[in-house]
A and B are shown apart, each in its own frame.
With several copies, the nearest count.
Chain A
Amino acid sequence: MQQMILTIEENKPLAPNVYRLRLFGKGMEEQRPGQFINLLLPGRFLRRPISVYDWEEDRVTVVYKTVGHGTEQLAQMKPGEKLDTLTGLGNGYDLSKAGERPLLLGGGAGVPPMYLLARRLKEQGREVTAILGFNTREEVFAEEAFRALSCRVHVATADGSYGEKGFVTDVLPEEYSYVYACGPEPMLRAVHRSVKTSGQFSLEERMGCGFGACMGCSIQTASGPRRICREGPVFEKEEILWAD
């Protein structure tokens, strides 16, 4: 974990209500896929956790959806403005389990963390398939970015207005070695039911701190209580106990 005052370099819409934010800070540690950063917005008490979308030396990029006052306020901010940020939070995905043909599943605001993961897996020479799920055509983002990594990319829209019609689970390929997934809980549950290999899922919860101090984000897992912000947000599929 690092606390840094980062400078906004870019904050631009990718799709309706979805923005890409690039932040610069000299000396920023490497951010790993599946980790998140925690942004303090002026006038808000709690920080806002957002997954790492990409990382280059001294620069972290995130993609966020405006869903409430904090993210709406963030969308108003301009390049040059500063943000007090905690970086390098959470465990991140374990890439060593990917196997040769990992499958990456992202739904809506769960798509972003898949990007840096895909990039790293490609760098390791894996054959990556990314399935990106959205509600409708106009919400689609990041497809081109995944294609530029030369992943195999499928887009599914719930209303069929773009790509394949249905949920990410409706377009699973025949063969894959491992699954990485991030998205809303109903999607993760469906993925859990549908996929045949082992995998890692990224979870979300309202957070008090984001770095393990408050026990605000705890879940029960097969191995006992775990903090999403510290032992997570990535959990082995088999560890997750879904609440009824």
Chain B
Amino acid sequence: MGRLSTTLCGIELDNPVIPASGTFGYGWEFARWYDINCLGTFSFKGTTREPRFGNPTPRIAECPAGMINAVGLQNPGVDRVIEEELPALRQVFHKKVMANVSGFSVEDYAYTCERLDKEEQVGWLEVNISCPNVHGGGMSFGTDPALAAEVTRAVKQVTKKPVLMKLSPNVTDITAIARACEEAGADGLSLINTLQGMRIDLKKRKPILANVMGGVSGPAVFPVALRMVYQVSRAVSIPVVGMGGVTTAEDVLEMLMAGACAVEVGAANLTDPFACKKIIQDLPFAMDRYHIESVSELKGGH
């Protein structure tokens, strides 16, 4: 085990840095710019049963120390991910990848996870439950402990790989959702997804995003994310992957100290395509600065 290495649901990672879903495509494009095998792993773009174009544009707005996106889960659908994206990735990435899955019904989730479970390249399933439940009135799966547990159980039934449930921060008590997922069999938790927000175009006097609202991410959400990682990692005994605004090696260390065993990096990849590579390079120096011998020493160091 190296100084940076950590373990996520039984799989060893060379380091705790993981590009977050939706900000790293299916990975192989980034491989034209650097050797992505330097990453702990990465979480690929949220994949659904059917192909999705997503929302109309504008899908992006800026906000102080962050951005808002309303991409709406654009992806080629699980068939093409398995037939095209994963084989392309195999050429450039030799580690297990994290498969991020979305759905609009419990069956959707189970179907897509079952398909991806069969792929050897996939190390973990990261199940994004922030999407609206189209059969249940549109309320997001991630805002109701019972629904979150239902998705967890359905997915666990059809997969053998570790399942990380990815939690929405737009809730009154994130620990209730976290515990419900744990009790339903989740192997780990990922948090946070984006905070719901919006901007208005002063010239046009109407919302910037065609979808009106979207998800805020970037440094602005860091203190909220850190708080939730801290709360959740104390409320459950399964591993927690922390994310939300992480931009520097020091942010990674702060997330680890809050209780995360690994850290995802989202929006930072968009403003700097080399962000994760740089963070990994900086980590040992930041650890020296704070007299941290190894990443594993921070785990539970609270």
Q: Which A residue sits closest to B74, measured CB to CB?
A: A215
A46/B62 contact (C-beta < 8 A), A1-B273, A213-B30 known: yes
Q: Are A45 and B66 in contact (CB under 8 A)?
A: yes
Q: Which residues of chain B are near A211, meaning CB under 8 Å?
A: 273
Q: Are B60 and A218 in contact (CB under 8 A)?
A: no
Whether B208 is near chain A, meaning CB under 8 Å from some CB there, is yes
Q: Which of A1, A213, A219 contacts B270 (CB 8 A)?
A: A213
**Interface 1/0 per residue, A199-225 and B, CB below 8 Å:** 000000111110111111111100001
Q: Are B273 and A44 in contact (CB under 8 A)?
A: no
Whether A40 is near chain B, meaning CB under 8 Å from some CB there, is yes
Whether A3 is near chain B, meaning CB under 8 Å from some CB there, is yes
Q: How far is the CA of A225 from the CA of B67 in the complex (A)?
A: 23
Query: Which of B18-26, B141-149, B160-168 sits within the interface?
Result: B18-26
A3, A46, A207: most-surrounded residue (chain B CB, <10 A): A46
Q: Which residues of chain B are near A44, meaning CB under 8 Å?
A: 62
Whether B45 is near chain A, meaning CB under 8 Å from some CB there, is yes
Q: Which residues of chain B are near A217, meaning CB under 8 Å?
A: 57, 59-60
Q: Are A220 and B53 in contact (CB under 8 A)?
A: yes
Q: Which residues of chain B are near A218, meaning CB under 8 Å?
A: 53-54, 57, 59, 71, 74
Q: Which of B61, B69, B219, B272 contacts A214 (CB 8 A)?
A: B69
Q: Are B54 and A215 in contact (CB under 8 A)?
A: yes
Whether B172 is near chain A, meaning CB under 8 Å from some CB there, is no
Q: How far is the CA of A140 from the CA of B149 in the complex (A)?
A: 61
Min CB distance, A6 to chain B, in Å? 15
How many positions in chain B have a CB within 8 Å of any CB in the partner chain?
A: 36
Q: Are A45 and B67 in contact (CB under 8 A)?
A: yes
Whether A82 is near chain B, meaning CB under 8 Å from some CB there, is no
How many positions in chain A have a CB within 8 Å of any CB in the partner chain?
A: 25
Q: Which of A40, A207, A212 contacts B60 (CB 8 A)?
A: A207
Q: Which B residue sits closest to A86, measured CB to CB?
A: B273
B33, B60, B65: most-surrounded residue (chain A CB, <10 A): B60
Q: Which residues of chain A are near B65, meaning CB under 8 Å?
A: 45
Whether A243 is near chain B, meaning CB under 8 Å from some CB there, is yes
Min CB distance, A185 to chain B, in Å? 11
Whether B274 is near chain A, meaning CB under 8 Å from some CB there, is yes
Q: How far is the CA of A215 from the CA of B24 in the complex (A)?
A: 10
**Interface 1/0 per residue, B23-42 and A, CB below 8 Å:** 11100011011000000000
Whether B58 is near chain A, meaning CB under 8 Å from some CB there, is yes
Q: Which B residue sits closest to A227, measured CB to CB?
A: B74
Min CB distance, A72 to chain B, in Å? 11
Whether A32 is near chain B, meaning CB under 8 Å from some CB there, is no
Q: How far is the CA of A211 from the CA of B273 in the complex (A)?
A: 8
Whether B212 is near chain A, meaning CB under 8 Å from some CB there, is no
The B interface, classified by DSSP as helix, strand, loop or mixed, is loop
Whether B63 is near chain A, meaning CB under 8 Å from some CB there, is yes
Of residues 238 to 279 in B, which have CB atoms within 8 Å of A's CB atoms? 267, 269-274
Whether A59 is near chain B, meaning CB under 8 Å from some CB there, is no
Q: Are B271 and A214 in contact (CB under 8 A)?
A: no
Min CB distance, A196 to chain B, in Å? 29
Whether A47 is near chain B, meaning CB under 8 Å from some CB there, is yes
Q: Are B60 and A214 in contact (CB under 8 A)?
A: yes
Q: Are A243 and B22 in contact (CB under 8 A)?
A: no
Q: Which A residue sits closest to B61, measured CB to CB?
A: A206
Q: Which A residue sits closest to B219, measured CB to CB?
A: A45
Q: Are A46 and B67 in contact (CB under 8 A)?
A: yes
Of residues 212 to 244 in A, which have CB atoms within 8 Å of B's CB atoms? 212-220, 225, 243
Q: Which residues of chain B are near A216, meaning CB under 8 Å?
A: 57, 59-60, 69, 71
Whether B300 is near chain A, meaning CB under 8 Å from some CB there, is no
Q: How far is the CA of A216 from the CA of B215 in the complex (A)?
A: 12
Whether B87 is near chain A, meaning CB under 8 Å from some CB there, is no
Q: Are A40 and B53 in contact (CB under 8 A)?
A: no
Min CB distance, B87 to chain A, in Å? 19
Q: Which B residue sits closest to A205, measured CB to CB?
A: B57
Q: Are B58 and A209 in contact (CB under 8 A)?
A: no
Q: How far is the CA of A207 from the CA of B273 in the complex (A)?
A: 14
Q: How far is the CA of A233 from the CA of B145 in the complex (A)?
A: 44
| 24 CB-based A-B contacts, threshold 8 Å | A1-B32, A3-B272, A3-B273, A45-B62, A45-B218, A86-B273, A205-B57, A206-B60, A206-B208, A208-B60, A208-B67, A209-B269, A209-B270, A212-B29, A213-B23, A213-B273, A214-B60, A215-B22, A215-B45, A215-B74, A217-B59, A218-B71, A220-B53, A243-B56
User: 17 new A-B pairs (CB below 8 Å) besides A207-B60, A216-B59?
Assistant: A1-B33, A1-B273, A3-B274, A45-B67, A45-B267, A45-B271, A86-B273, A206-B61, A211-B273, A213-B269, A213-B273, A214-B22, A214-B270, A217-B57, A218-B57, A218-B71, A218-B74
- Name A's B-contacting residues (CB within 8 A): 1, 3, 40, 44-47, 86, 205-209, 211-220, 225, 243
- Name B's A-contacting residues (CB within 8 A): 22-25, 29-30, 32-33, 45, 53-54, 56-67, 69, 71, 74, 208, 218-219, 267, 269-274
Give me the 6 closest cross-chain CB pairs, A-B, nearest first.
A209-B270, A216-B60, A215-B74, A206-B58, A208-B60, A206-B60
